[in-house]
Chains A and B, each alone.
Chain A
Amino acid sequence: EIVLTQSPATLSLSPGERATLSCRASQSVSSSLAWYQQKPGQPPRLLIFEASRRATGIPARFSGSGSGTDFTLTISSLEPEDFAVYYCQQRNWPPTFGGGTKVEIK
C-alpha cells in the first residue's frame, strides 16, 4: 500500500496570500494523483486529477504539479472560501489518501 504524507499539517495564511501544500508518496505513483478540498460538514470535492488537470468548474487559482513521489497543490491567491482541509489521493490499487492539510485563516 502506498502511503501519502502531507505537509504541513496546518497552514495559517491570510486571504490573498499564496498557499503551497505538499504531498509525498512512499513510492512512485507517476502522475496518478488527485487533490480534494473538504469543508466542515461537507463531502470532499475533487479539485485536481492526474497531478495537474483541474476538474470541471475548479477556478484557475488552483494548480497542481509534480510526478513520481513529490506533488504540490498551489492556491495562487487565497479567497475566503478556500479555507478548508485538503487531501491528496493516489489511484494505484488500493487507492489511498494523505492525512490532510488544514488551511486556516491567520
Chain B
Amino acid sequence: EVQLMESGGGLIQPGGSLRLSCAASGLVVSGTYMNWVRQAPGKGLEWVSLIYSGDNTYYVDSVKGRFTISRDHSKNTVFLQMNNLRAEDTAVYYCVGAVSFAYYFDYWGRGTLVTVSS
C-alpha cells in the first residue's frame, strides 16, 4: 500500500520560510514523478512543483525563485523548501505521486496546512 505522509506545515509570517517533508512508503520516490499540489481554503487545486529522474525540477510560475523541491533517496522523502512566503501561499499542501503517467496524480497524502499571516 502506498502512503505519503506530509509534515512541516504551520503558521508563518509573510516573508518567512518553511520546509515541508513528504515521507513515502510503498513507492520509491527516485523512480516516481513526485509533485506538490496545493489547495487554498475553500478553493480549487493548483499544481506547484515536480521532481523526477535526474533531479529534473519544475515549478508553477507563481513560486519560481521562491520554492525548491528536492528529495533524499536514502530516506525516501521529498521536500519543498518555501522561502519569502506570501499570504497567497496559504493552502493545504499535498504530496502527490504520479506513477502511470507524468502529471496524472495517482497517490495523494493527506496534506499539511501552511498559513501565511501576520
Contact = CB atoms under 8 A, between A and B. Distances in A.
Contacts of A55: 106
A46 interface: yes
A interface, how many residues as a size bin?
20 to 34
Interface residues of B, number: 19
Interface stretch (A20-28, A62-70, A95-103): A95-103
A49 interface: yes
- B interface: dominant SS: loop
Contacts of A59: none
A97 B46 CA distance: 7
Interface in A1-18: none
Contacts of B106: 46, 55
Interface of A: 34, 36, 42-46, 49-50, 55, 87, 89, 91, 93-100
